[in-house]
């Protein structure tokens, strides 16, 4: 199970001459051990969602991948 960053959106603000960047959206592709896409995880400032492709799906691997994205070690 691997992940690949698909899209990341940053918001830059300048306040009192100090520039601050904040990530406002990330979309990650979840891939199986054969490099096939098995799902996507989308998180933004207001919430998040994920989609999983059905079929020959390794449920444990997808579960572990989502947890690793949400709680990297």
pLDDT at 54: 64
Q: Count the neighbouring beta carbons within 10 Å of the beta carbon of residue 33.
A: 10
Say how many Å lie between the first and final Cα of the chain, rounded.
15
Q: Tens-of-pLDDT digits for all 73 residues of the chain?
A: 789 999 999 999 999 999 999 999 999 998 888 998 888 889 998 888 888 776 766 778 778 877 887 787 7
pLDDT at 56: 66
Q: How far apart are CA 34 and CA 20, in angstroms?
A: 39
pTM for the predicted model, two decimal places: 0.66
Question: Any idea how long the chain is?
Answer: 73
């Amino acid at each position: 199970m691997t992940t690949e960053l698909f899209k990341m959106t940053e918001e830059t603000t300048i306040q009192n001459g100090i520039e601050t960047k904040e990530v406002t959206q990330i979309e990650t592709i979840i891939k199986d051990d054969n490099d096939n896409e098995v799902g996507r995880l989308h998180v933004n400032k207001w919430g998040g969602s994920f989609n999983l492709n059905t079929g020959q799906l390794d449920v444990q691997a997808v579960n572990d991948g989502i947890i690793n994205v949400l709680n990297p070690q």
